[in-house]
Every structure is written in C-alpha cells, then in structure tokens.
Structure 1
C-alpha cells in the first residue's frame, strides 16, 4: 500500500512539473490576450449552460432544438458578452479575485439569465419557461467555478517556490496578513497559531489554526522557514515571552508594524519587518509622562543641536508632535540636516501641524553663530545633542573629540545664557561615569561645565541626561550584527564578558524631553534601565531569531560564528550610570536624579584654558593629563591612540623617552 501511495505522489508531482512551465508562460501573456481567451471560454459556457438546463428540465436528451431555439441562444450569447464587457467582468485579475469579483460574476450571470428569458419570449422559442432559472445556476457554476479553479491552480502551481510561514496571531491583523501573503509571490501561509484555545481547530481562509504550544512540532512537520508575529497590540511583556519561545526554533522571526503605526496609516500589515529593537531588551519600554514632555515644548521655540544625528533626529520627531511654535534644527552636516528636514516636513503635512521648521547649518564650537541663532529666534529650550560619541573614533581623533564635546558644550551653554534661553538640556552618556577613554572623559567634563553654569546663572535652567547604549542608533551593535548575519557571518564581539545597558531611541528621546521639565538646576538625570545585557547573549539571540544557529565547539554544524576581537582602545567591560549612591526620585517613577560632585568655576576656567592650548598644539599627552586632573575618576586603561600623535611618534617628532610608554602603535585601522 505504501509503495502505491509513493508511486501516486511521484505521478502527481510529475504531472505538476509538466504543467508548471506552460502555466508560467500563460500567466506571462499580455493582459488583453488573456481577456480575449476568457471571453471566448465564457461564450462557450453560455450554450453549454443552456443545454444543461434543458437537459435537467427534460431529464434526458428527448428535447430537439429548433432554429428559433438556436437563435435565442445566439442572442443570449451576443448580448451577454456585451454586458460582461461593460460590467468589468474581465478587469479583475483572476489570481487576485476576491469578494467583489464574485459579486460581479453573480450580477453578470443574473443579467444573462434575464436576457435568455427575453430571447425565448421574442423569438417564440419552445424552450421550457424554467430554463432561464436553471440556466442561472448552471452558468454560475461554469463561469464562476472556472475562475475559482484557475485561481486555485495558479496558487498551487506557484506555491512550491514560496517560503513556508506561520502566522502567530489569528486576529484581524493575522487575517489581513494572510490575505496579503496569499496574493503575494514570496510566502505561503501554512498554518496559524494563536494563544486563544477557542480558535484551535478552526480554519481561516483555508488555513488551519493551532494552539501556540504546538508551534515546535508544526515547525518540523511543515518545514517552516518564517514565523510572522501578527500581534501589534500585544503588551511588551507578552511579546517578550513569545520571542523567548521562538528563540530556540530554526525560523526567521518577523513582525507586523506597531499598532500605533497601523492606526495612523503610516504602515500596513503586510510591511513585515525584523524583530523590533525594543523586544530584544527583555523588559517593557518605559512609558513617558505627556505632561512632562509638553511643559518645555508646546507653543515655545525649541532648538536641537546635532539635529541630524540618531538621538537629535528622534528628539525632533517627538518634539514636532508636541506642537512648538518653531523648531530650530542645528547641525554641521548638510546631508543629515536635509534628510531630517524632509522627514519632518512630510510628518508636518500629514498631521496638519503649523510648526515652523528652520534648518540651520553651523558648528557648536562657533559661539557667535549660536548666540545669533538663539537671540534672533528667541529660543526657549535647547536640547544639546551635538557630540562625537563613538569611543574608538574619538580615541583616534582626540583633539577633535575634546574640542567638539567640551568646547562645543561650553559655547552652546554660554550662548544660551547670553540669549536668555529658559531651559538647556545636555545629552550625556554612561561612559562619563568613571571613564576609561577620552570620549567618556570629555562628556564628564561637559557635565562639569554645565553644572558650573547652573551654579552661577539662575536665568537659564541647566540639566543633563545620562543613559546607556541606544539600540538602533548610528554605530549601535544591533544593526551591525544584523548586517553581519545577513552576510553569512561572522558576528564580531569585542569580549565574551562585555555587558551594556540598553534603551531604545524613543525611550532616550522621551527621557531627554521629560528631564527639562523636572530640572531644578544642575541636575543629572539617569534612567532606571533594568539589568545590563551581555553583548554575546544579544548576538546569539539575534542569530537564532534570524533563523540561523550559532556555530561553535558545541555545535560545529551551525551557521554563524561569533568571533571575539578584543577590547578596543578605551573600551570598558562594564558600564555604570552613577558615580555614587546619592540618588533621589523624580516625578517619573523610572527616572532618578543623581547628586554628584562639582568643580569650582575657577577650576573649570583653568582647565578649559589649558585644554584649549593643548588642542591648538595637538598635544594629546597634555590633553590626557588635564582631563585626569579635571575628572579624577578618569583612568585611561590604554595609551594614546590619536592618529596624528602616533604618526608623530613613528616619524620621530615626539621624543621616545617622553612618550613611548603612553603611545599605542598600530591601533588605528589601516585604510582598505
């Protein structure tokens, strides 16, 4: 018996194979040719349906057709064809045929039956009076059924080339996604799975529904390649649980857009995307307080420095939703500024906001430029996001890193005081806490500068916001890991023990916007970000969620390897958010206020003057020494990696006896 079944399966597969190429050629024919063929087939179906109707009425072949009967048939064919064309019966693409096309077929066949009745009456045909009624049913079966068969044949012929997928969620979004995939050409929905036990055993659009606990077995049984999460309104906690469940399966996990994007119309169900970055955190996103966000923005003039960067651009997206009077975008990059302005103008037109958007080019180190902008536009609130943030890049460009991060903040804060700005918020980083690199030390120095301004001036409220790594920002590990996985690996991690705090770009931006409202002057705000994430675990999780297996000693047959490249210059294994334990709460339950040591104004003046001279002389060793005095917690674990400094050392410009112990040679990447 088993042999017979296998033989039958091979025979069916062979038949499908023989017809698959002709089917493709038929579907590639010009559309008007296919419409003409379909019309010809319908014209054959009309006399066949009439003959079948008479056959059913007489119960046999006893009726003999006369000339007037044939004339009635001809009239029905001609006028039915004319109506079919006018009704748009051939405009519908059969493989996409839906409910509206079926309604059109029913209307067309109904009119054809009425035309047959009129033809019988006008020609004096002897066809039975019940013929039009029976004809209506037979014609509907022939004309409509033929189209349904064609659609079924198309999808069965081309489903073999599709990737098999499971839709997780049999609700409205899941059904919409199933319809979109059915008419698409890439994925085939094999089954639905859902947490609702009442849906198990039902069928949606011809696709069976199973319980979510059966997913591992279904993955093996149907050779599933993809799982699509169609649960846009699920809580973050539930989504995290589902992703944990899917992580061990050999499938690529994608998700439909966020519920808010679907409701606003900015995204469609079928626009599948990779797992959201927030889902990788393993914690719920921290909800903002709208009142705090609005307080320093609504109906005010707001300025964002570094507006084209990852954090700056997200700040702009959220600020425009709070409807300020005017939004000033300040950036040194013409290209990034152009991009964010275009995006904001589209959002402004869509939401019908009246916000004035003003893009301005300039460097934050140019104090006169900043003063004129803040004064002429009567800026109320400044969000200072212009900074160099990539640790290795600043290590290779020490002078520019210090100049931008410290003197840029000094210029922006001074301009804010001169222009009478109400609120000034500095975007800082967890790398400013006990820094081991120039970037972290420069950001801590920027914090000290701002705290000195806060203690001296009451006219402008200064504060700073400190957070960890931002998922999805430029240079973030997640986009890099995804690219490496898509390229077949390996995924590069600097150290197997390295851990980081993570948050999403919207969370970071919302924290910044709320901080300005909670500030009492000189505050350092930090976010309760939960437990830190081990980077290698994040890499492993991403590999599995993209449908691959980690290749290592325990699994030599895996797909993607993880290579440990070693810590980069200035990089720490662990990051911290606080310098001490003196922390108080705020109006937001997840935002804390840190009370940290200040530098007297005279010391700030002294160190900044010394840094300016050292930067002018490109003396990286002196820069490092000054930063260690200004930031006592700064403990550089590596020597100087600045590209110009190391080249001077190699060329003998710097005396070896003075600097050889403080120079790292060969760490600057060679150009390819």
Structure 2
C-alpha cells in the first residue's frame, strides 16, 4: 500500500517549456552575479585577488544546486503566480537550501579553490535581491503589455480591503476590459496611497477633476455593504462627470471556487442599488425551524410574493409544500423554479380560487397543512377603485374563507400578507387589506388562540404591477415615463426581503399581531424615475399625471391609533389591531365605506 503526503511537491508531467528555460536561466544568472559580487565585497573590490577557477566552480555548483532543489520543490511548476508574495516565500526557502549546500561544499574545497568561506554567506542576500529584481521587472513588463488596447479606463471608489482586492486582479488579468487609472477615497489619510501602482487621485468631491486628469470612462464602487444613500450621491456625481457606474459582486461571490486570479464580474448599477436602503438580514435560517418537517400551504403561489415565499420555504425541508393559485400559468412558473419542471401533474400544485369556500375546505381537509402563508389577493389599486366589489369578494371574503378552512383543520401558524396601504386606509385596496388584518386578528383571539397574524410592508421592487417594471417598459419604449406627482414618496423593499419577513413573522409574531419591517426612509418616485432614465442612457421625458383617487402623497406603515414596539427584533415592529367579527361584515356597509371614503365605518376599518 502506498500513501501520498498531502503537501508533497508536484513534479513536471510534461517537458519544460520556454517559460521554464527563461526562469532557470534568470535564476542561474542571479547566482553567478551574487557569487561574483560576494567575492568582490569580500576582497574589498580588489578583483585581482579573486580566484577565477574556484569562483567558476562555485558558480557551477550554485546553478546545479538551484536546479535540483527547485525541481524537488516544484519551484518552476507554477504553483504560485510569478512575482507574488507566495512565490517570494518559496524563493527564500529554495535559496536558503542552495546556500547551505554551497557552505558545505566551500567548507571542504574552499581552501583548495581559493574561495573564502564567507563568500557563500555574503552571496545569499545578493542572490535574493537579484532574483527579486528580475521578478519585479518581469511583472511590470507583463502588466504594461497585457492590457488590451480597447480596455476601458476606470476609477475605483474605495481604497479599503475590497479595493485592494479588485485593483490587482484587474491589473493582472490580460482579458480584463477595465484598466484602473486612479483611486477615489474619502479618507484624508490615504491621500498619497497606492494600490498596485494605481494612486489615490482624490475624494468623491474631486470626481469631475479626477476624470479630467485621468481620462476615466467609468467608475467602480468597491465598498462592501455600501449604503444606498451613498450610492445615490456617487451616482449623481458620476452623471455630472459622464461616467458609467459599476459595482463589484458580493465578496463571497468573488471568492467562490473557480474564480481564480481573473478579474471579477462587474455589473452596472440597477434600481435595487440606489433605491430604498440596505437589505435587512432577518436571519431566517436561525428561526425558520418551525417549517422543517411540516406541511406548508401557500395561497397565491403563482404571484411574485407567493412564489418567492414558496421557494424560500422549500429550502427548509417541509414535509409537504402545497402551491395554491387560480392562475395556472403562475403555478407552472413557480413549480418550474422549485422542482425544475412545470408538468403541473403532481399534488404540490393546486388549482383553486380562494372565493370558493367548499373547494378550499376540501383541499384543506385533504392536505391538512400545519402552516399557511396567505398571499392571494387583488392588489392593483386603480383597478380596484373601478371594481370595489371584487376587492370585497377576493381580499375580504376570500381571506375569511382561507381563515375558516385553516381553523377547520387546526392550522397552527397562519400568516396573512398585508400592505402599508392598510394603515390609515384611503383606497379600496387599503380598506380591503385592513379588514383582512382585522379578520385575521379575530380568528386568532376569538376562535383558535393560535399564531394567526399579518405582515405589512410597502412597495416590492420587481413585483407585478409595481412602479419599477412600469418605468422599465416605458423607458424601453422611448417614453414618456409617467409619475403621478413630483413629491410622491413610497417605501421599497426587495421580493426576497419581503418573503423573508413573511417567513420570520411565523416564528416571532404573537397571535393577532401585525408585523412591520423597518423600511428606512421613503424614496421619492421622481428620483427613482430619473435614476432609471439616467442609467438607460436615453433621453426620456417625464410626464406628471396627477394623484389618483384615494392615492396618498406619502404612505405610512403604522396607523395613527396603533402603538408599535421592537421587542423581538431591531428591524421588525409589532403592533395590535382591533379584531373584527365576521358576523359584522356587510357588503352594503362596504359600499358605503367606499362611497364615503371610510366615513361612518368604525367597525370595519377603524
């Protein structure tokens, strides 16, 4: 039986090529020069005292020893990039071993050859210096000639750890389309700082001047966990300087297996980078154990939020995941994203309408879920203003149907998806979702005493019907981009973040509560439109259409009568809402609510 040491040096598996010959020749020359210089130093530059034959013999032994030791250590095998610190460490080890061999040889033959014993000791540092110089010069030469002529000149914003990782990789990769020509950093102490020969050329306030000085065509933001406000400010300055703005991928992506020494995959700014605020880490993995091994049902599983909830729930190993929706196309897409196929012939997909109580009861009796995420809803506010009875049938009675079905089979956790428009409601959508919250609270307090709660959040970037896809389509069509009012603001969050909150709510929420994510500061819709137009590079007009019926200038997350606290998570608020007995539901009162914009409807929406 044979064994292999884990750190055993690798040998050449094919004949050495020109690079090997060049490296060995350079190192051989360095040893010859080191020994000659050592002799001259030893004899205080009296070259006539140098023993020529003995010096030649010592040089030959040094060259042979270098080749043998380098072979045994696979020094020229390319284990480390040429001129790197890792190669320098190996160079010193090999040189020390060669020096030890020379000392031993010189101790035996030095007197006969006329070579002082101190020569080999003096030669060691000179050999290291000479070999280091050859590598440095070669690296400068390679860096200077490897960049494609068409490489885009870029400034790198950030001289921290990420910048010090990005810039050398961009410089070393001959295929990189970007050539760093300067660094931007707001730290005054880095005024004369250099990274891989690229100098700091100013702060963010000096961006326009830096572009004129360096001829840069793009700006790379290389700051980890950068704040969205900062990105917006930098992006505005870049627009003034006519710079394309790029961002680096997350550090874990850069360090993923297979990335090697190549330049990182940079990307253009997208709307998520400058809208809203930094994504909140809700640490779903640590608290979502209530899903593992349980039967989970998601209504509205074909929608943008419901499908993402289903995908995230699937990661926690539920005993069964039931996808319920009346949209067969949406179910097909969701099943494809989870199972890798969209055959629609398995029990995980259920085609049903939440308005149909008998059908829901049959499904719940058959599948008997432990956890329900209720994401099915009508949510297009302008459409519901035209057809308010549809909001009543779907968002109010449909939610009550799902609640009744859940109660019938003893569902332990029920999470109702709500919206910020349910706080101080002024639209049909807001009224209907607030009533759904109140029904959920009633079912928890009066009927089940189980964890039945609601989750309230603002606009979701990329969801169906949100402003972002609409702006994208309008910009692609050449405009105009329509904005209701120049001062209108909204809260924003990403689809994955919204879905994580929903999942987390099932673990940290108490029965009957409404949970609200800290969504930071609201964002002006006009600013979003302007940034998206600027990023597109097109000249697109913005047209103001006026606020629609019931539309708020500024949304709120907490109702004026609600008191919120953050006792369980610094980014999640908990509040209570007055339960509503379903026996009090009356479509006539609902229609009065819509007609009078909420007047006299205390028992429904207050």
So what's the TM-score if we normalise by structure 1? 0.63
Matched, 1:501 2:487: no
Aligned 1:626-645 pairs, distance under 5 A: 632=595
**1:494 Cα offset (Å):** 2.3
Give the corresponding residue for 2:136: 148
| 1:328 aligns with one of 310, 321, 336 | 321
Matched, 1:178 2:164: no
In the aligned structure 2, how far is the partner of 1:419 from the partner of 1:226?
A: 59
Give the corresponding residue for 1:62: 48
On the 8 A contact 1:277/1:504 being kept in 2, the answer is: no
Cα separation, partners in 2 of 1:229 and 1:63, compared to 1, 3 Å = same
Q: Deviations over 1:525-584 (max 9, x none)?
A: 66675765443321223455x5x8xxxxxxxxxx4222458879x998657758997631
Matched, 1:221 2:234: no
Q: Deviations over 1:457-509 (max 9, x none)?
A: 44666544443321244565547767998x8x846522362745232135534
Matched, 1:419 2:409: yes
| 1:187 aligns with one of 173, 178, 201 | 178
Aligned 1:142-541 pairs, distance under 5 A: 142-159=130-147, 161-184=150-173, 185-209=176-200, 210-232=202-224, 236=227, 240-241=229-230, 243-249=232-238, 250=241, 251-256=243-248, 272=266, 280-281=274-275, 302-307=296-301, 309-312=303-306, 314-315=308-309, 328=321, 330=323, 333-340=331-338, 360-365=348-353, 374=364, 379-387=369-377, 409=399, 412-429=402-419, 434-435=426-427, 457-458=447-448, 462-473=452-463, 476-478=466-468, 490=478, 493-495=481-483, 497=485, 499=488, 501-505=490-494, 508-509=498-499, 511-513=501-503, 518=509, 521=512, 532-541=522-531
On the 8 A contact 2:291/2:317 being kept in 1, the answer is: yes
On the 8 A contact 1:454/1:460 being kept in 2, the answer is: yes
In the aligned structure 2, how far is the partner of 1:31 from the partner of 1:307?
A: 60
Q: Deviations over 1:93-130 (max 9, x none)?
A: 78664211111122223333334444554594333434
In the aligned structure 2, how far is the partner of 1:34 from the partner of 1:507?
A: 51
Cα separation, partners in 2 of 1:151 and 1:396, compared to 1, 3 Å = farther
Give the corresponding residue for 2:23: 38
Matched, 1:562 2:540: yes
On the 8 A contact 1:193/1:211 being kept in 2, the answer is: yes
On the 8 A contact 1:166/1:191 being kept in 2, the answer is: yes
On the 8 A contact 1:174/1:230 being kept in 2, the answer is: yes
Cα separation, partners in 2 of 1:578 and 1:414, compared to 1, 3 Å = farther
Q: Deviations over 1:55-78 (max 9, x none)?
A: 554526536776665444334323
Q: Deviations over 1:605-638 (max 9, x none)?
A: xx9xxxxxxxxxxxxxxxxxx9968955799xxx
**1:416 Cα offset (Å):** 1.0
Q: SS at the partner of 1:413?
A: helix
In the aligned structure 2, how far is the partner of 1:283 from the partner of 1:483?
A: 24
Q: SS at the partner of 1:560?
A: coil
**1:448 Cα offset (Å):** 8.5
Give the corresponding residue for 1:82: 68
Aligned length: 549
Give the corresponding residue for 2:604: none
Query: Which deviates further from its counterpart, 90-99 or 152-161?
Result: 90-99
Q: SS at the partner of 1:583?
A: coil
In the aligned structure 1, how far is the partner of 2:333 from the partner of 2:71?
A: 53
Matched, 1:98 2:84: yes
In the aligned structure 2, how far is the partner of 1:401 from the partner of 1:85?
A: 78
Unaligned runs of 5+ residues in structure 1 are 1-29, 343-357, 549-558, 608-625, 636-672
Aligned 1:5-16 pairs, distance under 5 A: none
In the aligned structure 2, how far is the partner of 1:434 from the partner of 1:310?
A: 25
Q: SS at the partner of 2:113?
A: coil
On the 8 A contact 2:34/2:126 being kept in 1, the answer is: yes
In the aligned structure 1, how far is the partner of 2:517 from the partner of 2:383?
A: 26
Unaligned runs of 5+ residues in structure 2 are 1-14, 326-330, 341-345, 567-571, 599-606
On the 8 A contact 1:627/1:634 being kept in 2, the answer is: no
Query: Which deviates further from its counterpart, 532-541 or 325-334?
Result: 325-334
Q: SS at the partner of 1:539?
A: helix
Question: How well do the aligned residues superpose, as a CA RMSD in angstroms?
Answer: 5.5
On the 8 A contact 1:628/1:634 being kept in 2, the answer is: no
Cα separation, partners in 2 of 1:47 and 1:454, compared to 1, 3 Å = closer
Cα separation, partners in 2 of 1:380 and 1:448, compared to 1, 3 Å = same
In the aligned structure 2, how far is the partner of 1:194 from the partner of 1:530?
A: 26
So what's the TM-score if we normalise by structure 2? 0.69
Give the corresponding residue for 2:95: 109
Cα separation, partners in 2 of 1:467 and 1:38, compared to 1, 3 Å = same
In the aligned structure 1, how far is the partner of 2:211 from the partner of 2:77?
A: 39
Cα separation, partners in 2 of 1:402 and 1:596, compared to 1, 3 Å = closer
Cα separation, partners in 2 of 1:139 and 1:213, compared to 1, 3 Å = same
On the 8 A contact 1:164/1:224 being kept in 2, the answer is: yes
